[in-house]
Amino acid sequence: MSKNIRIIFDNKRKRFLPGDIIVGKVIILAKKDIKCKGLNVTLHGFCSNNFKSKTLSEGSYFNSKNDCYNSVLPLIQGSKLVRVGHHTFNFRYRLPQDIPPSFESQWGFIRHYAEAVLQTRSLLRANFKCSEMITVVSTGLDFRKYPDAAKNHDIVLFQNEMKQFSDDAKKPDAILLRINSTTFICGENVMINKNSSSKQFLYVKTSTMEVL
C-alpha cells in the first residue's frame, strides 16, 4: 500500500447497511509530478470459503469464491499530469440492497472493501494503491411482515408453525420455522425460548431442512 494515496470515508466507523450511500474521497500526495492514465475506486464484496471434505479422500479440500458486487468508479479518465501537491477526489456509491453482512469464521468469510488505484504511465514507476475494509451490518428481520408478531418487536411468535411443546423428556419437541430469505441472511441468529415448568436440563438441536 502506498503512503502517497489513501481513502477517507465520511462515515468514520466505516459501518454501513445494505442500500446505504458511501461517501468518501481519495487523497493523493504527489511529491513529484505524476504522469497517470487513470484513477479508479473499486467497491467490492465477495464470499469465500474452504474446508476439508469428510466425504472425499484424505487431503481433499473444497474452495469457493463468489462476488457479491464489483463496481468501478472512474475519478480520472485518460492521461493526465498530477502536479506536485495535495489532491482530493470525491466519490459516492450506493451499496446494493441484496448483499450479505460482513462475516468471519474459520471456514470462510464475507468481506467488503474499497480500493483506489492511480495508474501511472511510466514503466519504471509502480501504480499507487490503497484499500480500506468496510463493515456491512445486517438489517435483521422486519417484524412488520409477520401478522403474529408480538407487541414487543424484539420477539416474533411463529405460532402457526409451532408444534406443542411437552415437558416429557422422552417426547421430542419440534419447531418448524419458515423465514423469508429476503429478511434473513446466513450468519444471523434465530433465538428460540422455551418456557417450561420442568427443571430438567433442556437443549435444542437444530438442522436446516431447506433454503428457499
Where does 5-136 sit in CATH, by number?
A: 2.60.40.640
What is the number of helices (H) and of strands (E) in the chain? 0, 9
- Alpha carbon distance 203, 205 (integer Å): 7
- What does the domain layout of the chain look like in residue ranges? 5-136, 140-212
- Alpha carbon distance 67, 98 (integer Å): 12
The identity of residue 182, as a single letter, is T
Which H or E element spans position 73?
Answer: strand 61-82
- CA nearest to 64, candidates 11, 130, 109, 2: 109
Q: Which residue, chain included where needed, has cell 428457499?
A: 212
- What is the Cα 22 distance to its own chain's centre? 14
- CA nearest to 29, candidates 99, 149, 118: 118
Could you list the pLDDT tens digit for every one of the 212 residues in the chain?
A: 567 899 999 999 999 999 999 999 999 999 999 999 999 999 999 999 877 666 655 556 777 888 999 999 999 999 999 999 999 999 999 999 889 999 888 888 999 999 999 999 877 778 899 999 999 997 655 555 555 444 444 444 444 444 444 555 555 555 555 555 544 545 555 555 556 565 554 555 555 554 44
The identity of residue 38, as a single letter, is G
pTM flag (> 0.85): no
